[in-house]
Chain A
């Protein structure tokens, strides 16, 4: 390995620790702000109804083995009957829900607010890091990386002979960004951590939900093979009671 650089203690005190502390604090702040800004959206009656139907169908699917075959079948027909079954959605209606979702101003506002509250602190912090903490070696990562990472990690440092392990503060910022997620989930309790990546993945989910999931549930229900799991429960109850008594 090349020569070991000796780095100033002041860098420890004034770069690494403040940056981490600031990121933790911003995370906590964002958590509280999102709690305060939680705007209550009046749920649409039809949507709620459909949601409950889906939940009911899912429960039926999950617990199908605990009810006798005939009752399961009658329930299934109730749900997936062609004419007036609850899960059957005619094709024309399917498109409507999606368009309605996106043109609904409240929904759009909510999504925008959530997105912004994620993006703004990150952008601000990144800009702050770049402005104040650029142009020097900030930390040394304990494992070696190839030369290709040099341009990514050593952004402000213009010497090309420095070991790739010595990184600038920008990479310390990114390391913090990813690593503090675990810490937040411990402090803030239950996945309230920086789940911005999860949120972004869920973004497209709202508009399609009603009609697609209805047909999905219907298909799932049609597929289920009923296997009654409690055929001999009388005998088993007798055996257990006998054991208890004797």
Chain B
């Protein structure tokens, strides 16, 4: 889908594959975190507009938000070529991080689009 592109540069390898003890380059880790954050924010805004245009109300809208977040997670995992441990230190980062952060933006743009389209 066209909406998936990471909104900034690609992720960098943050762990050495050679050591027995995993080490992480902090700078690259932070960069990867930022990429996740931007992607989620962007997707929640777009998702909000879509939800508003499609006319979701109530619960359906929140379920749609979780759907969008899940799609973002899958997109990020695919971008990391499924070897999450090379880029992040745990699975939780890429799946759960920033989940709730985009909620307010989603609601704002959802309300906005819904009003403009449906309550003309």
Contacts from A to B (Cβ < 8 Å): 5-7, 9, 12, 16, 20, 65, 139-144, 172, 175-176, 178-183, 185-186, 190, 229-230, 236, 240
Contacts and interface: CB of A to CB of B under 8 A. Distances in A.
A143 to B, nearest CB: 5
A59 to B, nearest CB: 11
B108 A9 contact: no
Interface string B71-98: 0000000000000000000000000000
B104 A178 contact: yes
Contact of A144 (B58, B101, B107): B58
A65 B21 contact: yes
A9 B104 contact: no
B67 interface: no
A142 B108 contact: no
A178 B108 contact: yes
Given A7-B119, A142-B52, A143-B61, A183 B105 contact: yes
B21 A229 contact: yes
B7 A186 contact: yes
A185 B101 CA distance: 12
A181 B105 contact: yes
A149 to B, nearest CB: 14
Nearest to A7: B119
A144 B20 CA distance: 54
A182 B45 contact: yes
B34 A140 contact: no
B50 to A, nearest CB: 13
A9 B18 CA distance: 63
Given A7-B119, A182-B44, A229-B21, A141 B104 contact: no
A140 B21 contact: no
A143 B58 contact: yes
A179 B45 CA distance: 9
Contacts of A9: 120
A232 B42 CA distance: 46
- Residue among B18, B34, B105 facing the most chain A CB atoms (10 A cut-off): B105
Contacts of A180: 105, 108
A179 B108 contact: yes
B45 A175 contact: no
A229 B101 CA distance: 38
B21 A179 contact: no
A185 B8 CA distance: 13
B9 interface: no
Nearest to B110: A142
B111 A175 contact: yes
Contacts of A6: 119
13 contacts: A5-B119, A6-B119, A9-B120, A12-B116, A139-B111, A139-B119, A178-B108, A181-B104, A182-B41, A182-B102, A182-B104, A185-B37, A229-B21
- Residue among A180, A186, A229 facing the most chain B CB atoms (10 A cut-off): A186
Given A7-B119, A140-B114, A142-B61, A179 B109 contact: yes
Given A140-B114, A142-B114, A185-B37, 18 more contacts: A6-B119, A16-B112, A16-B116, A140-B111, A142-B110, A144-B57, A175-B111, A178-B108, A179-B107, A179-B108, A180-B105, A182-B45, A182-B104, A182-B105, A183-B41, A185-B41, A186-B42, A240-B18
